[in-house]
Amino acid sequence: MDKILRVNMTDLSTKIETVPAAWAGLGGRGLTSTIVAAEVPPTCHALGASNKLVFAPGLLTGTAAANSGRLSAGAKSPLTGTIKESNAGGTAAQMLARLGIKALIIEGIPTEDKWYSLHVNKDGVSVQEETELIGQKNFAVIEALEARLGKKTGILTIGPVGELKMTAANISVKDPDSKIRSHGRGGLGAVMGSKKIKFISIDDQGAPGVKIADPEKFKVAARTFAKALLDHPVSGEGLPTYGTNVLVNILNEAGGLPTQNFKVGQFAGADKISGETMNETITARGGKVRHGCHAGCIIQCSQVYNDKDGKYVTSGFEYETIWGLGADCCIDNLDDIALADSIMDDIGIDSIETAVMFGVAMEAGILNWGDSKEMLRILSEEIGKGTPLGRIMGGGAGSLGKAYGVTRVPVVKNQGIPAYDPRSVKGIGITYATSTMGADHTAGYTIATNILNVGGYVDPLKKEGQVELSRNLQIATAAVDSTGMCIFVAFPALDIPECLPALIDMLNARFGINLNGDDVVNLGKHILKVEHQFNIDAGFSNIHDRLPEFFSTETVAPHDAIWDFSGAEIDEFWNF
C-alpha cells in the first residue's frame, strides 16, 4: 500500500499516513504542488515554521519506463515567494517509489538550535540529531554517509549554502555514481536548512517495489516509448552526443545566446565552450560523453568531464550553466567553468541562479568580465563560506542587483532568467513571464518549437503564436513533471505519433485506469491553476507576469530584437 511519510521538525515526531483519495492519482509535481497549496499558508515566511518541504517521486517512477526516475521537491520558495517545484534525477526517487512512498512531507522548525538528519526505510522515517557532518560540503557528505550507511544508500543533502539559508541554495541528490544531481531552482535547499535537516538517507532494502496492474500492456508501451526516445534526433542523437550543451552553437547561431549580462545575443567565444568542443575535450581526456542521471535513463545527456590530467571534475554539466558562466560572463575557458560547476555542486547552490548573478556582479563591477579565476575564488571563499559578499551573491541575481543598485537584472519574480534571450526567442519570454515558478525555461520549453523545429515551428522573432505555444507546453510540462519523466521526453512526444499514447498507456497499465490524452491535458491545466492560485493568494498578480524593464527598452543584436508584448497580450496566457 502506498503511503505518505510526515515529519514534524518542531516536536521531532513522524507519522505514516494513508494516501488521501484525492492525492491517489497524483505524483511528482502534481502531488507536491497539491500538498503545498493545501497545507502551506501562501503568505507565510518561506523559511518559517509554516512552510513545508515535500518530496514526491513521479507516477511512473520505480517502474521500468525509460527516463522515469525523477524526484519532485516542492515548497513555498524563499527566492521567489511563489509556489515552487524543482525536479532532479539521482537515485532517491526510484528508492522512494519502490518503498511505496508517495510523498515525504516535512513541516515545522526545531525549537532547539540543533541539526538533524532523516532516515527513510521500509518501516517509515526517523529523525536523528546530526553533528559530524554539519558544515561539510556535499561530496564529503556523500562519501561519509556511504561509509557510515553503505554504498547503496540514497542521499538528499544540503551544502553550506543551504545550511546558511541563502535563497539560491539547492538540494543535492546522489546519482548512480555517487555524484550529484540537483533540485536547483528556487532555493529549496534554504527551506531544508531552515528545518535544520542536513541530509535525508534512504534505505530501500525490503522495499515492496512498484506494482504494475497490467504488466503485459506496460511492457509493450514501455518498449514503444523507449524506441521513440531513441528514434528522435534530439533525444536519440543530439543530447547523447553533446549533452544539453549542444545548444551553445545553436543559440549562438540563432542570436539568442545572452552574452555579457544579456547585452548581445552572440558570444565571440561560443566555439570554445560549445558542446562540440566539450565532446572532443571529454573524448581526448578519457571522460565519458554519455552518462545517465538515474537508472533507466536512455538519453544519457550527462557526461563525465575530466581535467587535463584525466582526473574527474564534474558531471551533469549543463548548457545553462555553461552559457551562464560562459557567454553571459564572457568566460571562454571551459575547464574553469567545469571547475565552477563542481564547486557549485559541492557547496550546494543553483548553478543557473549563480551564473545569472555573476553576470549582474560583473555589470556592477565587483569582478571583471571574463575573470574566471576570481569567479572560482568567490564561489569557494565567499559564497561557500557565507561571507557578507557571499550572502549577497547566494541570494541570487535579484539580491546582487538590489545590493549594488543595478538596473539591468534579468529576473522574473526574483528568479534569474536562463540561457535564452526572450527578445530573440519570444516564446520563452512568455514562459519566463507567466510561469508559476518565476523565470524557468523548463516550465514551457518553447526552444523546441522556436529553434529546434520540434513540434512544428513558430518564428522566434515574431509575436504571433508564442502565447499559445508557451501555454500548450506549460500545460504539457506540468503533466509530464507529474510522471517522473525527464522533460526531454517532450521532444519525441511532440514529433513521434506513438510516443505520447505509449506514455499514457504506461500510466494506464501501471494503475489499471483509463486515461486519455484529454485527461493528461486536464491534469496539466489543473496543476497550473492550483499553482497560480497559490501565487495569487501569496500576493502575486498579472503585474508580476512581466519581464524586467530593460528588455523593452534595449534591443539585442544581431536581430535588434526587442520585447514588445503588452501586458494584455501576456495575460492571454491564463485564458484556459
Residues 6+ apart with CB under 8 A from 380: 343, 347
Tell me if 271 contacts a second copy by CB under 8 A.
no
Nearer residue to a second copy within complex by CB, 236 or 348? 348
Among residue numbers 99 through 158, which ones bind a second copy (CB under 8 A)? none
Q: What is the CA radius of gyration of the chain?
A: 22
**Amino acid symbol at 336:** D
Nearer residue to a second copy within complex by CB, 164 or 304? 164
Among 74, 89, 159, 193, binds a second copy (CB under 8 A): 193
Among 405, 514, 568, 575, binds a second copy (CB under 8 A): 405
3-class DSSP state of 154:
strand
Spatial distance between the Cα atoms of 315 and 173, rounded to a whole number of angstroms: 13
The three cell numbers of residue 313 are 571534475
Among 140, 298, 389, 461, binds a second copy (CB under 8 A): 389
Stretch that binds a second copy, among 12-20, 119-127, 288-296, 549-557 (CB under 8 A): 549-557
Tell me if 45 contacts a second copy by CB under 8 A.
yes
* Contact (CB, 8 A) for 479 and 523: yes
**Amino acid symbol at 403:** A
Instruction: Show the site string, 518-547: x = touches a second copy by CB under 8 A, - = not.
Output: -------------------xxxxx-xx-x-
Spatial distance between the Cα atoms of 26 and 150, rounded to a whole number of angstroms: 32
Among 295, 402, 459, 560, binds a second copy (CB under 8 A): 402
Q: How many CA atoms lie within 13 A of 131 on its CB side?
A: 1
Residue 389 CB, shortest distance to a second copy, in Å, is 4
Nearer residue to a second copy within complex by CB, 161 or 278? 161
Among 50, 333, 533, 555, binds a second copy (CB under 8 A): 50
Nearer residue to a second copy within complex by CB, 29 or 413? 413
Nearer residue to a second copy within complex by CB, 359 or 548? 548
DSSP state of 178: S
Q: Which of 475, 573, 488, 490 shows the shortest CA–CA distance to 520?
A: 475
Nearer residue to a second copy within complex by CB, 13 or 43? 43
Stretch that binds a second copy, among 98-106, 123-131, 251-259, 398-406 (CB under 8 A): 398-406
Tell me if 566 contacts a second copy by CB under 8 A.
no
The three cell numbers of residue 547 are 519581464
Q: Which of 20, 108, 91 shows the shortest CA–CA distance to 57?
A: 91
**Total residues binding a second copy (CB under 8 A):** 39
Q: Which of 170, 171, 111, 175 shows the shortest CA–CA distance to 415?
A: 170
Spatial distance between the Cα atoms of 359 and 103, rounded to a whole number of angstroms: 37
Among 112, 147, 216, 388, binds a second copy (CB under 8 A): 388
Instruction: Show the site string, 418-457: x = touches a second copy by CB under 8 A, - = not.
Output: ----------------------------------------
Tell me if 83 contacts a second copy by CB under 8 A.
no
**Helix H or strand E encompassing 305:** strand 302-306
Spatial distance between the Cα atoms of 325 and 260, rounded to a whole number of angstroms: 10
Among 12, 39, 48, 219, binds a second copy (CB under 8 A): 48
Among 47, 239, 278, 469, binds a second copy (CB under 8 A): 47
Residue 81 CB, shortest distance to a second copy, in Å, is 11
Among 174, 183, 232, 391, binds a second copy (CB under 8 A): 391
Backbone angles phi, psi at 496, to 5 degrees: -105, 115
Nearer residue to a second copy within complex by CB, 407 or 516? 407
Residues 6+ apart with CB under 8 A from 207: 95, 98, 99, 100, 122
Nearer residue to a second copy within complex by CB, 161 or 247? 161
According to DSSP, the β-strands at 3-8 and 101-107 are parallel
What are the residues facing 411 on neighbouring strands?
A: 416
Tell me if 198 contacts a second copy by CB under 8 A.
no
CA-CA-CA-CA torsion sign (490, 530, 72, 416): positive
Among 165, 185, 232, 510, binds a second copy (CB under 8 A): 165
Residue 212 CB, shortest distance to a second copy, in Å, is 44
Spatial distance between the Cα atoms of 502 and 221, rounded to a whole number of angstroms: 5
* Contact (CB, 8 A) for 551 and 418: no
Among residue numbers 14 through 43, which ones bind a second copy (CB under 8 A)? 43
Among 4, 37, 71, 164, binds a second copy (CB under 8 A): 164
Q: How many CA atoms lie within 13 A of 428 on its CB side?
A: 27
Residue 72 CB, shortest distance to a second copy, in Å, is 24
CA angle centred on 63, ends 60 and 66, rounded to 5°:
80
Residue 386 CB, shortest distance to a second copy, in Å, is 9
Q: Give the Å distances, CA to CA, from 400 to 304, 322, 331.
A: 32, 20, 20
Tell me if 159 contacts a second copy by CB under 8 A.
no
Residue 388 CB, shortest distance to a second copy, in Å, is 4
Binding residues for a second copy, rule: CB under 8 A, are: 43-45, 47-50, 78, 164-167, 190, 193-194, 387-389, 391-392, 395, 399, 402-405, 407, 537-541, 543-544, 546, 548-550, 553
